[in-house]
Amino acid sequence: MSNFIVIGFCFLFGILIRTKGKFPADSHKVINSFIISVSLPCMEFGPLRHASLDGNFLTFAAMPWVLFGSGFLFFSFFGKLLNWKESTIICLCLSAGLGNTSFLGIPLIESYYSKEGLPTVLIIDQLGTFLTLAIPGTYLGTKARHTLQSSETKSSLWKTLFTFPPFIALLVSLASRPISVPPELESAISRIGDTLIPLALFSVGYQLPGTIRINSKEPNAENPKRESDDSFRIRIPLLFGLVFKLIIGPALIWLCFGTFFHYSEKNVGENFLRNFKILIMESAMAPMITGSLLAAEWGLSPRLAVSLVGIGIPLSFLTTLGLYYLLENQAWTGTIFFGQ
């Protein structure tokens, strides 16, 4: 429950401070830079050092990779069909191709399936969502950012990737697994990483009032009037992103992993059914806050990125509730895909 209160307060504080004009208009850029350069690398360190690597859990950890890959194909297909910019497609991949599997996932799963389901959530988040964002997500984002730069400011794509703080943190975390780190140091790094979620939520709330400036004449609008009269430039990708993340994506995960477990020998153990339901629920979480902030920081349709999170989080409370009811109360869901 405390996490939900934090979500509400941080969103509210961001919106109020932006509307009251207490901070400079571009304050979110400084906050986002701190998140990406400090909070996110510190948040990665402990979980990636201590994540367990056994067979069944690794299968669950594959879910975000499958979801991200499906999202990439989905958004690339419709992006080309509807003539979207590459920045819009990659923004959708980073935001709606990944879920908020920790900050929203943990309290929701704990509410629905008790604390006994949290180890499954942590594996999905640490070995799945985190690594997907850090490896293919970072590569696609830096590649799209690279194409947006002018020829005078372009640097090597690989140099950009390997100097990106979260990617460096990923390499350091994995390389340090055999090394003993003083508990005090690891605890201090973890506490710095804890700043990510409040700051990220505040940043999203701070930027939300600006998302309505579509087709406006303001110079910092996502779709200035002088560039286009098409008011659907953001709304259509936003609709596609939310529909994929909250409906189509979870349905694909249910079908793919349900079929896999049904025809494999991995559906063993007394907690398998519960863990499989948690897997489906995690795939239906709201668009990823960190991925959205990365897209915004890189200039990849920032208004779209913020809108996906700002609208997707409250909407996901309703869609995950409906999915939970479907998983628990409809008899047909237990016939094939749960191995019963």
Number of domains in the chain: 1
290 three-state secondary structure: helix
Other C-beta atoms within 10 Å of 252: how many? 17
Show Cβ contacts of residue 282 under 8 Å, excluding neighbours closer than 6 positions.
Answer: 63, 99, 101, 105, 109, 121, 124, 125
Give the DSSP letter string of 97-154: TSB-TTTTHHHHHHHHH-GGGHHHHHHIIIIIIIHHIIIIIHHHHHHHHHHHS-TTT-
Collect the ranges in the chain with pLDDT lower than 50.
151-153, 214-231, 331, 335-336, 339-340
What is the predicted pLDDT for the residue at 268?
A: 56
Element (H, E) at 239: helix 232-243
The predicted pLDDT at position 110 comes to 75
Short-list 215, 237, 218, CA closest to 228: 215
pTM across the whole model: 0.75
Q: What is the pLDDT of residue 247?
A: 96
- At position 175, the amino acid (one-letter code) is A
CA–CA separation, 23 and 14 (whole Å):
10
CATH code of residue 149: 1.20.1530.20
- Cβ within 8 Å of residue 76, ≥6 positions away: 89
> Nearest-CA neighbor of 316 among 39, 13, 96?
96
Q: Residues with Cβ < 8 Å from 82, sequence gap 6 or more?
A: 236
Predicted local distance difference test score (pLDDT) of residue 54 = 57
Structure tokens at 314: 């409250």
Angstrom distance (rounded) from CA 52 to CA 126: 10
Which domain does 103 fall in, by range? 1-338
List Cβ neighbours of 100 (8 Å cut-off, separation of 6 or more).
285, 286, 287, 288, 289, 313, 316
C-alpha to C-alpha distance for 337 and 340, rounded to whole angstroms: 8
Q: Tokens at residue 194, please?
A: 């804890």
How far is it, in rounded angstroms, from Cα 242 to Cα 290? Answer: 16
Per residue, the 3-state secondary structure of 68-94, as one string, reads: HHHHHHHHHHHHHHCCCCHHHHHHHHH
CB 6 within 8 A of CB 197: yes
CA atoms of 291 and 78, how far apart (whole Å): 20
pLDDT for 216: 44
The count of residues in the chain is: 340
The rounded distance, in Å, linking the Cα atoms of 221 and 226 is 11
Task: Provide CB contacts within 8 A for 226, sequence distance 6+.
Answer: 217
* Res 81: pLDDT: 93
Residues 6+ apart with CB under 8 A from 338: 258, 267, 273, 276
The pLDDT of residue 74 is: 97
In this structure, the number of other CB atoms found within 10 A of the CB of residue 190 comes to 14
